[in-house]
Structure formats: structure tokens, C-alpha cells
Amino acid sequence: MTQRLTIRRPDDWHLHLRDGAMLRAVLPETARHFGRAIIMPNLVPPVVTAADARAYRDRILQALPEAADFTPLMTLYLTEETDPADVAAAHASGLIHAVKLYPAGATTNSASGVRDFDKVRAVLEKMAEIGLTLCVHGEVTDPEIDIFDREAVFIDRVLDPIRRQTPELRVVLEHVTTRDGIAYIGETEKNLAGTITTHHLVINRNHILVGGIRPHYYCLPVAKRESHRLALRAAATSGDPRYFLGTDSAPHLDPLKESACGCAGCFTATNTMSVLAEVFEQDGALDRLEAFTSLHGARYYGLPASDATITLTRGDPVPYPARIDTADGPVTVFDPGFPLHWQVGA
């Protein structure tokens, strides 16, 4: 059995860092193992313009631990008022690497998202022209659609029409949670990829609901049936370059998770690489872990893979903390429910 594995330093292609005290607390958890990350723009207020992105990037860099080697890859939050010229200028300067589409009301801090997709047509056409990626939160918000069906319906109602109307637009369907999403990506020859989270490879909806409501497993898109989880694992471990890691690590203070209306999100930044190594080992695919975490995403975004490496060593279970502390309160670390034998940097 492999006891030691060295891979190129991984990237996280979907990450929430928040701001202020939360940013300062959670950023070191990502920067410890990851070299780059696509930074989500759903702050309050959101990161809408190039000036917003530049200011947010500066705050991230100021919060980095001394000597940390980490590059935030900035994004803009797509609204119905987004200026195509501002997007193009931000991309040309190297400031942004994607634009994020949130259907209005789909998830945390998405109230400023898109309701009328015709109003963002000019932005999408400009993005297709300049080769800028659209990152998509793939859920409809129609209250008549069951929450477990919202990804599949989004693909039919929104994503497929967008891609047919703008076939050269590069798209990432983020945090895929269904076999429908996996099948849709698998049928596509170009300009579409999907990120898969750490937690969706581990949990299904039973983990949230059986034996009591477990708020630290509640996320959006919500975890689905076991058959969907298995489809995600098969895709992640397949070696197919259309799938790569986007943790969607999403920290919330414990009182906001453990409440009558708990926030959606799993905080996985601290132990993601150990969890993934365990998952890939369980599925006999340790030799494909590097591709999923370190190669496929960089290739899709047109960036070089990292020259740096990390080493994972297998041994006794790793004692990760149950939570991390911020100046505003604790944040619970994702518990996969099984021992983690792979330690980074040992």
C-alpha cells in the first residue's frame, strides 16, 4: 500500500473567504496547502466592478500569513447592471479570471443575482469574445421546484439555452451535485467543465437529516441521494479533465449555522486534502488525485500547473481541530465521519 504521495501543489477552483475577521481566520487554512483559488464575490455588498475586485484582492493579500505563497484569483459578481466594458478591462489587466452567475436568491448573499437572463446577454457575449470563464451556481429558484431537483431543472431551463445561444462561452458548472450534471458535462465536447466539492464526495442527504438535523452538513446545492454521490465520486476519480476540485469551502460562525434558519455551507479548507486522499484511496484512484486537485483546473483556466509540490504521508489518524476560532466566534470544521490517515507535509 502506498504510504507516501507527492503531487503538484493543488488549487481550489471555488472558495469563499468572506471578509474582515472571518477572512483573517480562514485564509491561513487554505494558504497552508493550496497555491491558488478562485475567490467567490458574494460579499455584502458584492464584488461587482473591477474596483471592487481590486480592493478585495488587496484585503486578501494583507490578511495572508507572513511568507505564505498564495495567489487569489478574483471574480466579479454578475448583475443585470454589469458593464461589459468593465468586465473586459478587468480581464485584460489580469485582475479577474471569471465572472460568477448567481440566480437571484439561490444561495448565501445572492440577492443581487440575475433574474432576467436577457439583461446579461451582452456581458456573456463579451465574455465569449475574450475567453473569460462564466462560473455558474446551477440551481433554479422557482419555489414550485423541489430543492432536490433544482440543479437538473437549471440545466434544462437556463444553462443549456445559454450555451446554445453563446456556444463559445466557457462555462464551469460549479459544485455539481447530481448525476444529471455529471451526464450533461460528460456529453459536452468543449467549453464546459464542472467543479466537485470535497463534502459532496462524502455526504448524501441522509447525513443532514437522519438522527436529527445536522446543520454543519447543510449546504447549497444541498446533498442529494446516494446514487448521485456515487456518480460524483466516479467522475472525480475518473481522470476525466472536465472535472476538478472546487471545495466551495464556506465558513459561517457556529451560532449562524446552529439556529432556527441555519446558513448553508460546509467549511472544508482545513482538512480537504486529507479527506480527498482518503476518498481516492477508497476508490483505488490515488494515482489520479493530482490530476483532480492540481492539473485539470489549471488547464481549463489556461494557467500553468504549480511547480511546487506537497507530500501526503499515510499513518495514524490526523487530529484535526473540531473548529477554528475567529475574532467573532468559532467555525466548525467539516467532519467526514471517518478517520483521516493522510497528513499533508509529514
| pLDDT exceeds 90 at position 189 | no
Question: Taking all residues of the chain, what is their mean pLDDT, rounded to a whole number?
Answer: 96
Q: Count the Cβ atoms, other than its own, within 10 Å of residue 51.
A: 12
pLDDT of residue 41: 96
Give the confidence band of 115 by pLDDT, cuts at 50, 70, 90: confident
Residue 309: how many CA atoms within 13 Å on its side-chain side?
A: 8
Q: Band the pLDDT of 110: cuts 50, 70, 90.
A: low
Q: Is 326 helix (H, G, I), strand (E, B) or coil?
A: strand
The domains of the chain, with CATH numbers, are 4-344 (3.20.20.140)
Q: Which residues are catalytic?
A: 248
C-alpha 265, offset from chain centre: 11
Residue 227 banded pLDDT, cuts 50, 70, 90: very high
Q: Please give the biggest Cα pair distance in the chain.
A: 55
pLDDT in tens, 326-335: 999 999 999 9
Alpha-carbon distance of 147 to 170, in angstroms, equals 27
Decide if pLDDT at 1 tops 80.
no
Mean pLDDT in residue range 133-152: 95
Cα dihedral 197, 76, 37, 290 sign: positive
Q: What is the mean pLDDT of residues 200-208?
A: 98
Q: Please name every residue paired with 38 in a beta bridge, in sequence order, or none if there are none.
A: 73
In this prediction, residues 205-232 reach a mean pLDDT of 97
DSSP 69: -
At residue 103, the 3 state secondary structure works out as strand
**pTM of the model as a whole:** 0.96
Q: What is the pLDDT of residue 106?
A: 66
Amino acid at 157: R
Once rounded to an integer, what is the mean pLDDT over residues 79-90?
97
pLDDT of amino acid 104: 80
